[in-house]
Amino acid sequence: MRVYIPATVPMLRAFVDSGELAPVTGTAFALTPALRESYAAGDTEELEYSAMLDAARASLRLLAADEKAEPRRAVIAVDMEDVTLRPDLDFSVVKVGGSFTMKDVAAVHLDTAEAEQDVRAAVEVIDAADLGDPDAEFALGSAEDHELAWYAAQELPFVLELL
């Protein structure tokens, strides 16, 4: 199953250095039956994009926990076998067992430099946005308006070197 794993730039660096990464608490996002049922329409590509955006939002939470991390959302698209659906948490949430290697990676999605200011602001208000604060939701929306850049797995070391 294709899963989308939230990450940070330091996590990506550690992944490149060690060749292996385990998702934080085993949490990932995917096109699940619950996610498919929650949409009135949409093809597989659109629904997978929605799962990736959920992972990008989770990346903001990881950034909030690591104030030294570069303010860029990161998502790793990985093909994994050991996946458990968790509709009790949210429509696209899954739990994955173990770690993965670079050969499992389909793509890496990462914010560009243009998003940094908006991502920094969103990190500061992510909890308030979840609680319905309209100003916080606006700040979060500004960060989410930035499209994540797509990179092939073999490009990741070079992309990180340029940061």
pLDDT at position 41 over 90: no
pTM of the model: 0.94
β strands within the chain, DSSP E: 2-7, 20-21, 27-30, 74-79, 83-85, 93-96, 100-101, 105-110, 149-151
Q: Is residue 80 one of the residues assigned to a domain?
A: yes
For residue 43, pLDDT over 90 is answered with no
Question: Is residue 125 a part of any domain in this protein?
Answer: yes
pLDDT(44) > 90: no
Distance from C-alpha of 81 to C-alpha of 97, rounded to nearest angstrom: 9
Q: Residue 36: CA atoms inside 13 Å, Cβ hemisphere, count?
A: 8
Residue 162 lies in a domain: no
Q: Does a structural domain hold residue 20?
A: yes
Q: Quote the domain boundaries for residue 24.
A: 2-156
Q: Given pLDDT bands bounded at 50, 70 and 90, which one contains residue 10?
A: very high
Evaluate whether residue 114 is within a structural domain: yes
What is the CB-side half-sphere exposure of residue 123 using CA atoms within 13 A?
22
Q: What is the phi/psi pair of residue 68, to 5°?
A: -90, -10
Quote the number of domains for the chain.
Answer: 1
In a domain, 143, yes or no: yes
pLDDT for 80-122, tens place per residue? Answer: 998 999 988 899 999 999 999 999 999 999 999 999 999 999 9
For residue 163, being part of any structural domain is answered with: no
